[in-house]
């Protein structure tokens, strides 16, 4: 096989150097009927690249069905399969985090769903882009075959998020993505409780590329994201990456105060310009009510901005992630050749 001269500068291969290892992080929640067909599709897709080492790390997220037994069955037949079993259902984002924490020694990690909505062959294209130098390859949905309700809410959510979020979180992108080991290491530094991984990955940076794909239907079973969970997830995305809701308090306060000033000006003009008319009955109460309500909201907004700062401080995110240092080999970060 010819030597691979990729911009990723993988080590020159001798028989002793280990082959690049790609780990899949695969969250499983009540997917008993899906794991076997999924694994078959995945092994078939990855078989075309026998120059790479593969690991398939399934994270059982407290499934109530036979999923764990089926996963252990897979492991018996395929030593590349790893199984993590969470002690309870922690939710998809945390299941993926547990998988990422365990996949640390891989050169790149692919995260994908196990309900066959994310086609395994697309992940092979991701590996190709990674070899060409991309640090993150995220799969962007060109089309999706979900219910009308899911499609509309998702559409609205990504637009709202786009307007509010402080980092650019790409639209119509789920958690199906490949990350270089450096990105995985940086993501591991974000330990916030309410996790919105696609936002965290966007926040980390590095060279990110989109790969368009058509999202399939769920193979069997039902979605683990019913409406309530979906709303909580959407709130995590917006609250985790935006303080816009807090700023809205201040804006509303100023708007109400301004309204009271307009009302006061109107009352004063009636008094001064047409002294024969009596001032309207709402003058005192109306002006006072809007002024007070407005001032209170402005003050709440002031408290809100301190709360917002406390919140970002408590999130304790890294201030920056280094992509490269030109200082030498000792820093642990990829250095200039
Ligand atoms: N999942 C999980 N824990 C949960 C819910 C879902 O690990 O609490 C997994 C699920 O098995 C699937 C992936 O996360 O592999 C995406 O979930 P799902 O297909 O239910 O979401 P949807 O595609 O409907 O958004
Ligand atoms: Mg799904």
C-alpha 29 to ligand 1 mean position (Å):
6
Phi first, then psi: give them for residue 25, nearest 5 degrees.
-105, 120
Q: Pairing state of beta strands 136-144 and 173-180?
A: antiparallel
Question: Residue 138 and residue 208: Cα distance in Å, rounded?
Answer: 7
Up-side HSE of residue 10: CA atoms within 13 Å toward CB? Answer: 21
Backbone CA torsion sign across 49, 71, 118, 88: negative
Assess whether the C-beta atom of 92 lies below 6 angstroms from ligand 1: yes
Up-side HSE of residue 238: CA atoms within 13 Å toward CB? Answer: 18
Answer yes or no: are the C-beta atoms of 9 and 17 closer than 8 Å.
no
- Reported ipTM: 0.96
Angle between helical axes of 244-273 and 227-241 (0-180°, round to 10) = 80
Residues 6+ apart with CB under 8 A from 31: 38, 63, 65, 67, 114, 115, 221
Q: CA dist 214 to 120, 121, 144, 195, 296, Å? A: 12, 12, 6, 26, 50
Find tokens 């399939």 and name the residue: 216
Assess whether the C-beta atom of 24 lies below 6 angstroms from ligand 1: no
What pTM was computed for the model?
Answer: 0.83
Q: What is the CA radius of gyration of the chain?
A: 27
CB contact burial 210-239 (16+ within 10 A = b; e otherwise): bbebebeebbeeebbeeeeebeebbebbbb
Assess whether the C-beta atom of 234 lies below 6 angstroms from ligand 1: no
Class of residue 45 by CB neighbours under 10 A (exposed 0-12, middle 13-18, buried 19+): middle
CA 258 to chain centre: 39
Find tokens 């996949």 and name the residue: 103
- Residue ranges of alpha helices (H) inside 60-131 are 67-77, 92-102, 120-131
C-alpha 260 to ligand 2 mean position (Å):
51
Assess whether the C-beta atom of 223 lies below 6 angstroms from ligand 1: yes
Assess whether the C-beta atom of 114 lies below 6 angstroms from ligand 1: yes
First vs last C-alpha separation in the chain: 25
C-alpha 66 to ligand 2 mean position (Å):
18
Residue 57: name the closest of 90, 30, 83 by CA. Answer: 83
Up-side HSE of residue 102: CA atoms within 13 Å toward CB? Answer: 23
What does the pLDDT profile of the chain (337 residues) look like in tens digits? Answer: 444 445 676 656 666 677 899 999 999 999 999 999 999 999 999 999 989 999 999 999 999 999 999 999 999 999 999 999 999 999 999 999 999 999 988 999 999 999 989 999 999 999 999 999 999 999 998 887 778 888 888 888 888 888 888 888 888 888 999 999 999 999 999 999 989 999 999 999 999 999 998 888 888 888 888 888 888 888 888 888 988 888 899 999 999 999 999 999 999 998 899 888 888 888 889 899 999 999 999 999 999 999 999 998 999 999 999 888 888 665 555 555 5
Question: Residue 227 and residue 233: Cα distance in Å, rounded?
Answer: 10
- Which residues in the chain belong to E strands, given as ranges? 21-28, 53-60, 81-85, 108-111, 136-144, 173-180, 208-215
Concatenating the DSSP letter of every residue in 177-237 gives EEEEHHHHHHHTT---SS--HHHHHHHH-S-EEEEEEEE---SSS--S--HHHHHHHHHHH
C-alpha 116 to ligand 2 mean position (Å):
8
């Amino acid at each position: 096989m010819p030597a691979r001269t990729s911009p990723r500068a993988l080590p020159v291969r001798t028989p002793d150097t280990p082959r690049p290892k790609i780990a899949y992080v695969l969250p499983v929640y009540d997917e008993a009927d899906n794991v076997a067909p999924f694994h078959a599709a995945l092994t078939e897709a990855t078989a075309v690249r026998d120059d790479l080492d593969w690991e398939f790390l399934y994270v059982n997220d407290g499934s109530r069905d036979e999923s764990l037994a089926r996963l252990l069955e897979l492991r018996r037949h395929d030593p590349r399969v790893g199984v993590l079993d969470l002690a309870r259902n922690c939710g998809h984002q945390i299941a993926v985090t547990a998988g990422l924490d365990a996949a640390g020694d891989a050169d790149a990690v692919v995260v994908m769903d196990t309900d066959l909505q994310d086609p395994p062959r697309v992940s092979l294209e991701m590996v190709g882009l990674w070899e060409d130098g991309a640090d993150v390859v995220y799969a962007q949905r060109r089309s999706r075959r979900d219910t009308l309700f899911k499609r509309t809410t998702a559409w609205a959510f990504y637009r709202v998020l786009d307007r509010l979020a402080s980092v650019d979180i790409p639209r119509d992108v789920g958690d199906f993505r490949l990350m270089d080991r450096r990105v995985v290491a940086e993501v591991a530094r974000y330990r916030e409780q309410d996790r919105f991984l696609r936002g965290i990955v966007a926040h980390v940076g590095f060279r990110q590329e989109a790969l368009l794909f058509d999202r399939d239907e769920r193979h069997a079973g039902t979605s683990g994201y019913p409406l309530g969970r979906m709303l909580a997830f959407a709130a995590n995305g917006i609250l985790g990456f935006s303080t816009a809701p807090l700023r809205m308090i201040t804006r509303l306060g100023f708007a109400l105060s301004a309204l009271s000033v307009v009302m006061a000006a109107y009352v004063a003009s009636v008094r001064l310009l047409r002294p024969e008319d009596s001032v309207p009955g709402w003058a005192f109460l109306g002006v006072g009510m809007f002024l007070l309500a407005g001032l209170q909201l402005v003050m709440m907004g002031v408290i809100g901005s301190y709360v917002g700062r406390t919140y970002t401080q408590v999130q304790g995110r890294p201030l920056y992630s280094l992509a490269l240092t030109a200082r030498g080999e000792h820093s642990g970060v990829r250095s200039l050749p």
